[in-house]
Amino acid sequence: MATRIFGSGIRRREDPRLITGTATYTDDFTLPGMVHAAMLRSPHAHARIKKIDAARARKAPGVVAVFSGPDADSLAAVPCAWLLPNANLKIAVYSALCKDVVRYVGDIVAVVVAETVSQAYDALDLVDVDYEPLSSVTNPEQANKPGAPQLHPDVPNNEAFHWVLNVGEVDAAFKNAEVVVKDRIVHQRLIPNAMEPRAALAQWSGASGELTLCNTTQNPHIVRFLMSVVTGVPEDRIRVVAPEVGGGFGSKIAVYPADFLTVFCAMKLGRPVKWNETRSENFQATTHGRGHIQEVEIAAKKDGTILGLRATSWSGMGAYLSTAAPGIPTILHGLMLSGVYNTPAIKEDVYGVYTNGTPVEAYRGAGRPEATFMLERMVDKLAAPLGLDPVDVRLKNMIPRFENGHAVATGLSYDSGDYPGQLKKLVDHIDYKKLRREQEEARKKGRYLGIGIGTYVEICGLGPSQVAGAIGFQGGLWESAIVRFHPTGKVHVFIGASPHGQGEETTFAQIVASEIGVDVNDVKVFHGDTDVTPMGWGTYGSRTTAVGGAALILATRKIKEKAKIIAAHLLEAAVEDMDYADGKFFVKGSPDKAKTIQEVSLMAHVAWNMPPGVEAGLEASMFYDPPNFVFPFGSHFALVEVDPETGQVELKRYVAIDDCGPQINPVIVEGQVHGGVVQGIGQALWEEAVYDDNGQLVTGSLLDYALPRADMLPEIEVLSTVTPSPHHPLGLKGIGEAGTIASTVIVYNAVMDALRPLGVESLNMPLTPERVWRGVQQAQQQKRN
Amino acid sequence: MKVSVSITVNGRQYQRDVEPRLLLVHFIRDLGGVTGTKVGCDTSQCGSCTVLVDGMAVKSCTCLAVQADGASITTIEGLTTNGKLHPLQESFWNKHGLQCGFCTPGMILASHGLLKNNPKPTDEEIRHGLEGNLCRCTGYQNIVRAVREAAAVMAGK
């Protein structure tokens, strides 16, 4: 079998268009007669709309229309698509266009459509809105208390849901504990900031009743569904195209009010309408991530054996429940609280709370970084008072190596893993013991080095559709692929998933090429167009390769089976006597009696001499519903130095060992780890969405929100181990979110390790110089008292 | 009020009547129809719109079209000559220096400016040289490698 292409770090096939400027993102399209929409957004976090007067705006140059208030009553409410069961879920009405009340800075109150972009924005200033400000709340813990400002009339205490995980004898574990360690962890809100802002271009053909929507999205088929639900256009008459998409990180999963309103305007006006978000709008109104306050305690024996974990979490959902939001702080978080450990008893109460902030959604890692943070933080906190090395505590509690399934307390069955083996590999690689000695020496000289090291496991490859149904996800989670041979032996592949930077046009071509022996350059992968591709559920949760890749390999194997039958016929041999290698089907023992896949494909298409009963053509489709999730894992290490005089954290070294099973293209895997690690470091050290007391987003631009820059980072070392998934046809797992899941807590723990001799126990992220400096000052003050 | 300007983009001259407030990036994209240059922010932080103005790397959202009257602009489309990729385009491809590709045109042209001023940069100098260009996908790791490779290739010429 020609396996060399699988596992080869070939250059990406999507790059030529991207490095020459010929790639087309949504904003790069222009249609005849196209007009431009701009959204008037609320400047108040919470206010009643008393009056909207758009008369002046309507008269402004170039203005085609202004819509506000009840104008868009024909649109149904924006749906939430993850109906978390057994959690008393209360879905508040989420209108694309606000009529009576605005609930966050960014809620849309009017849409202006004009001939040019600048005319549309000029006219926004001429729409007069009379607001009566109401009291607001952005902190979810505060918002959940009686007496807090109420966002929605039918949601007491703003409680959108209360989800409980309760496995094992948690109370007994804490009663029998020899040591209990507590912490309060605040996962600050983050702003995803995909470099391409969101955009939509809608074209409505009234005559045929057909809608075409070009939309920067991670899941065009979900957009098609929800667009149909909200606009009433039958879903089969909607074509959603995700052209080049400039990153998503979760923020392009949701279908947004502005998307619906762009379509609404196009339908009302009968002209193509384009809306392109500004970065300021992106900060205000494209979904945020994280935003949890967690009270955590861990019960253990003096030898470091973990007995139980107990937590309460308040998740700020923002003003409305975004498309997949309820599943993030619950299913994707709580079920991962076993982590890599044998913890027998776990309880978590998760309160999802409406707040006067931007709705939250998945953000790279989505629930799993928060689970990993909780565990790895608490293990470090446990080790210190017991006088144990944190690596030893980890190894003591770790699930031993397993190859084919391991059930954990939260009810999941992990597929395969070798956590202790991988952690030991990392320990050896960095010479951990020597580093600890160097740290000791440095401390004596007044230098504060810190080490963060730990292991995560994540759930991805979402997932079995039966499970999706059971947990309230309003869709399936299978993926699909069509493999179509041309008479020339070239191959077109159509996938339901929708990559946007992850490189599947290359890696999926590698899968096909290695399986059936065609040249990788002869395989072209199509995605992101609901009229062209089979249905799929989208690219998020590190699922495209794990699920879509499985659909593709199985579709390719169907082709191979058919090709073998045709080749046998042409060679006048029995099918069972046929063998295959390197793109050739041959009679066993006679490799010269062979037909290439290209020869077979030609015959399948001219069909001059086909085996009886075999249809012409060479094409196969596959819908793959995975039997289980996949569980990639990794062990990461960070070395920092903290200057207590200035609070400055220097990240000196970062090493990642990740295990996503066999790697189709190790260069792309490394790139995914790089990006993920840096995003996680961003949360630990720099990034934070800050609302002031009035619900104003004070980090509302790239001037105020500290995105990682090239000069803030060291070189990141990326290593790997390979543990195939037993249930995946190629053993593949996923790598998209791995880095983010690990790096936040690894860097955080490193900084706290550095600060331990100074008496600093806990700090909120991001660990900016000011925060670290204040933490040190406070600890020193307490020592003196 | 509109002002007549003449700006050359990738060797082709565009004579247009523009509003004085029109940014160069919108002249290039909307009036020139040359869309390889991207707009990623509205505060001149992200660098996605970086182009060469008379050979100098400039964020084209920091410059009005009227200020560029008479200038010669090179965008990412103009970096390829007779179908041959520029060494920076090759090196970004070779080193996997891009993922979603949105920051890439600006990143490549900013790197172009960097190497013009400092043909043999250290890694630290590359990192500082690109601090005005944001990328959310790569963590900059492979971008630094790409610029390093391009510098070597261009020095060898």
pLDDT digits (tens, 9 = 90+) for A691-715: 999 999 999 999 999 999 999 999 9
Nearest to B102 among A14, A246, A708 (CB): A246
Please indicate, yes or no, if residue B33 is contained in any of the structural domains.
Answer: yes
Question: In A756-784, which positions are buried (b, 16+ CB within 10 angstroms) versus exposed (e)?
Answer: bebebeebebbbbeebbbebbeebeeeee
A634 and A497 inside one domain? no
Name beta bridge partners: A480.
A623
Nearest to A28 among B35, B96, B137 (CB): B35
Whether residue A785 is predicted with pLDDT greater than 90 in this model: the reply is no
pLDDT digits (tens, 9 = 90+) for A421-451: 999 999 999 999 999 999 999 999 999 999 9
CA A134 to chain centre: 34
Closest C-alpha to A500, from A701, A204, A250:
A250
CB contact under 8 A, A675 and B137: yes
Nearest-Cα residue of chain B relative to residue A712: B127
Q: Is A709 on the interface with B (CB under 8 A)?
A: yes
Q: Is A674 on the interface with B (CB under 8 A)?
A: yes
Whether residue A351 is predicted with pLDDT greater than 90 in this model: the reply is yes
Please indicate, yes or no, if residue B105 is contained in any of the structural domains.
Answer: yes
A715: DSSP letter: P
Nearest-Cα residue of chain B relative to residue A665: B96
- CATH of residue A438's domain is 3.30.365.10
CB contact under 8 A, A279 and B100: no
- Looking at residue A682, its pLDDT comes to 98
Please indicate, yes or no, if residue A299 is contained in any of the structural domains.
Answer: no
**Rounded Cα–Cα distance for residues A652 and A454 (Å):** 17
Average pLDDT, whole number, for chain A?
97
Q: Is A677 on the interface with B (CB under 8 A)?
A: yes
A488 and A568 inside one domain? yes
What distance in Å separates residue A21's CA from the closest CA in chain B?
A: 4
- Domain end, chosen from A597, A624, A651, is at A624
Q: Provide the residue type at B2 as one letter.
A: K
What distance in Å separates residue A508's CA from the closest CA in chain B?
A: 16
- Domain end, chosen from A590, A624, A658, is at A624
Residues 342-371 of A with CB under 8 A from B: none
Q: Provide the residue type at B94 as one letter.
A: N
Tokens of A537: 């559920």
Nearest to B139 among A20, A118, A674 (CB): A674
Taking CB atoms and an 8 Å cutoff, what residues of chain B touch A23? 36, 101
pLDDT digits (tens, 9 = 90+) for A635-669: 999 999 999 999 999 999 999 999 999 999 999 99
B57 and B97 inside one domain? no
Q: Is A32 on the interface with B (CB under 8 A)?
A: no
B104 and B128 inside one domain? yes
The owner of tokens 């996997």 is B96
pLDDT tens across the length of chain B (157 residues): 899 999 999 999 999 999 999 999 999 999 999 999 999 999 999 999 999 999 999 999 999 999 999 999 999 999 999 999 999 999 999 999 999 999 999 999 999 999 999 999 999 999 999 999 999 999 999 999 999 999 999 998 6
Sign of CA dihedral A593, A597, A601, A604: positive
Sign of CA dihedral A220, A222, A225, A230: negative
pLDDT digits (tens, 9 = 90+) for A549-589: 999 999 999 999 999 999 999 999 999 999 999 999 999 99
Tokens of A666: 């190790």
**A18, A249, A527, A668: which to substitute to probe chain B, counting the most B Cβ within 10 Å?**
A18
CB contact under 8 A, A716 and B133: no
B108 and B132 inside one domain? yes
Sign of CA dihedral B146, B148, B152, B155: positive
CB contact under 8 A, A278 and B127: no
Q: Is A186 on the interface with B (CB under 8 A)?
A: no
pLDDT digits (tens, 9 = 90+) for A362-394: 999 999 999 999 999 999 999 999 999 999 999
Sheet order of strands, A128-133 included? A101-102, A47-53, A128-133
A413 and A505 inside one domain? no
- Looking at residue A4, its pLDDT comes to 82
Contact A550, A557 (CB under 8 A): no
Closest C-alpha to A160, from A81, A92, A105:
A92
Taking CB atoms and an 8 Å cutoff, what residues of chain B touch A19? 76, 85, 89, 92-93, 98, 101, 104, 108
Long-range contacts of B150-155 (CB under 8 A, 24+ apart): B150/B87, B150/B88, B150/B90, B150/B91, B150/B92, B150/B111, B150/B115, B151/B115, B151/B119, B151/B120, B151/B121, B153/B87, B153/B90, B153/B91, B154/B87, B154/B115, B154/B119, B155/B119, B155/B120
- Looking at residue A749, its pLDDT comes to 98
CB contact under 8 A, B100 and A24: no
- Looking at residue A2, its pLDDT comes to 41
**B37, B51, B136: which to substitute to probe chain A, counting the most A Cβ within 10 Å?**
B136
Q: Work out the burial of residue A576: count CB atoms within 10 Å of its CB; fewer than 13 is exposed, 13-18 middle, 19 or more buried.
A: exposed
Q: Work out the burial of residue A437: count CB atoms within 10 Å of its CB; fewer than 13 is exposed, 13-18 middle, 19 or more buried.
A: exposed
- Looking at residue A1, its pLDDT comes to 40
A635 and A610 inside one domain? no
CB contact under 8 A, B99 and A671: yes
Q: Work out the burial of residue A592: count CB atoms within 10 Å of its CB; fewer than 13 is exposed, 13-18 middle, 19 or more buried.
A: exposed
What distance in Å separates residue B101's CA from the closest CA in chain A?
A: 5
3-state secondary structure of A367: coil
**Rounded Cα–Cα distance for residues A173 and A182 (Å):** 15
- CATH of residue A88's domain is 3.90.1170.50
- Looking at residue B21, its pLDDT comes to 97
Contact A452, A750 (CB under 8 A): yes
**B26, B141, B144: which to substitute to probe chain A, counting the most A Cβ within 10 Å?**
B141
Question: Which domain, by its residues, includes A551?
Answer: 478-624
Please indicate, yes or no, if residue B82 is contained in any of the structural domains.
Answer: no
Q: Is A239 on the interface with B (CB under 8 A)?
A: no
- CATH of residue B112's domain is 1.10.150.120
Taking CB atoms and an 8 Å cutoff, what residues of chain B touch A501? 99-101, 137
- Domain end, chosen from A589, A624, A659, is at A624
Contact A541, A460 (CB under 8 A): yes
**B76, B82, B137: which to substitute to probe chain A, counting the most A Cβ within 10 Å?**
B137
Nearest-Cα residue of chain B relative to residue A501: B100
What distance in Å separates residue B8's CA from the closest CA in chain A?
A: 17
- Domain end, chosen from B77, B107, B127, is at B77
What distance in Å separates residue B21's CA from the closest CA in chain A?
A: 10
A551 and A637 inside one domain? no
3-state secondary structure of A198: coil
Please indicate, yes or no, if residue A182 is contained in any of the structural domains.
Answer: no
H-helix or E-strand spanning residue A491: strand A491-495
- CATH of residue B46's domain is 3.10.20.30
Please indicate, yes or no, if residue B93 is contained in any of the structural domains.
Answer: yes
Please indicate, yes or no, if residue A63 is contained in any of the structural domains.
Answer: yes
Nearest-Cα residue of chain B relative to residue A10: B94
Q: How many CB pairs under 8 A join A and B?
A: 174
CA A249 to chain centre: 5
- Looking at residue A39, its pLDDT comes to 98
CB contact under 8 A, A18 and B104: yes
CB contact under 8 A, B39 and A27: yes
- Looking at residue B1, its pLDDT comes to 86
What distance in Å separates residue A704's CA from the closest CA in chain B?
A: 10
CB contact under 8 A, A20 and B36: yes
Domain tally for chain A? 3
Please indicate, yes or no, if residue B94 is contained in any of the structural domains.
Answer: yes
The interface predicted TM-score of the complex, written ipTM, equals 0.98
Sign of CA dihedral A731, A734, A735, A739: negative
CB contact under 8 A, B104 and A19: yes
B29 and B91 inside one domain? no
pLDDT digits (tens, 9 = 90+) for A334-343: 999 999 999 9
Using a pLDDT cut of 90, give the percent of chain A over it. 99
Please indicate, yes or no, if residue A167 is contained in any of the structural domains.
Answer: no
B52 and B102 inside one domain? no
- Looking at residue A606, its pLDDT comes to 98
pLDDT digits (tens, 9 = 90+) for A708-741: 999 999 999 999 999 999 999 999 999 999 999 9
CB contact under 8 A, A19 and B46: no
Q: Alpha helix locations (H) across A571-611?
A: 597-606
Kindly indicate the confidence band of residue A783, based on its pLDDT and cuts at 50, 70 and 90: confident
CB contact under 8 A, B101 and A280: no
Q: Provide the residue type at A551 as one letter.
A: A
Average pLDDT, whole number, for chain B?
97
Question: Which domain, by its residues, includes B125?
Answer: 87-155
Please indicate, yes or no, if residue B24 is contained in any of the structural domains.
Answer: yes
Taking CB atoms and an 8 Å cutoff, what residues of chain A touch B108? 19
Name beta bridge partners: A622.
A481
A605 and A513 inside one domain? yes
pLDDT digits (tens, 9 = 90+) for A28-84: 999 999 999 999 999 999 999 999 999 999 999 999 999 998 999 999 999 999 999
Domain tally for chain B? 2
Taking CB atoms and an 8 Å cutoff, what residues of chain B touch A702? 41, 43, 45-46, 134
Using a pLDDT cut of 70, give the percent of chain A over it. 100
B39 and B97 inside one domain? no
Taking each helix axis from N to C end, the angle separating B104-117 and B87-94, rounded to the nearest 10 degrees, works out to 120
Nearest-Cα residue of chain B relative to residue A705: B45
For residues A640, A645, A647, A652, the Cα torsion angle rounded to the nearest 10 degrees is -20
Residues 188-207 of A with CB under 8 A from B: 192-197
A203 and A80 inside one domain? yes
Taking CB atoms and an 8 Å cutoff, what residues of chain B touch A14? 101
A653 and A590 inside one domain? no
**Rounded Cα–Cα distance for residues A433 and A710 (Å):** 31
Please indicate, yes or no, if residue B60 is contained in any of the structural domains.
Answer: yes
pLDDT digits (tens, 9 = 90+) for A596-634: 999 999 999 999 999 999 999 999 999 999 999 999 999
B14 and B70 inside one domain? yes
A751 and A637 inside one domain? yes
Neighbouring C-alpha atoms within 13 Å toward the C-beta of A752: 25
- Domain end, chosen from B31, B46, B77, is at B77
Nearest to B102 among A25, A671, A677 (CB): A25
Tokens of A656: 């990642």
Contact A68, A90 (CB under 8 A): no
Tokens of A269: 């006006």
B65 and B98 inside one domain? no
Nearest to B76 among A20, A249, A677 (CB): A20
Nearest-Cα residue of chain B relative to residue A718: B141
- Looking at residue A6, its pLDDT comes to 96
Q: Work out the burial of residue A430: count CB atoms within 10 Å of its CB; fewer than 13 is exposed, 13-18 middle, 19 or more buried.
A: middle
B119 and B69 inside one domain? no
A409 and A537 inside one domain? no
- Domain end, chosen from B52, B77, B102, is at B77
Nearest to B136 among A247, A278, A668 (CB): A247
Nearest-Cα residue of chain A relative to residue B75: A21
B73 and B92 inside one domain? no
Nearest to B36 among A21, A670, A703 (CB): A21
B53 and B98 inside one domain? no
Nearest-Cα residue of chain A relative to residue B32: A28
**φ and ψ at A278, to 5 degrees?**
-85, 165
Cα–Cα distances (Å) from A668 to A541, B9, B110, B120, in that order, read 17, 34, 24, 27
B62 and B29 inside one domain? yes
CB contact under 8 A, B136 and A194: yes
Please indicate, yes or no, if residue B55 is contained in any of the structural domains.
Answer: yes
Please indicate, yes or no, if residue A320 is contained in any of the structural domains.
Answer: no
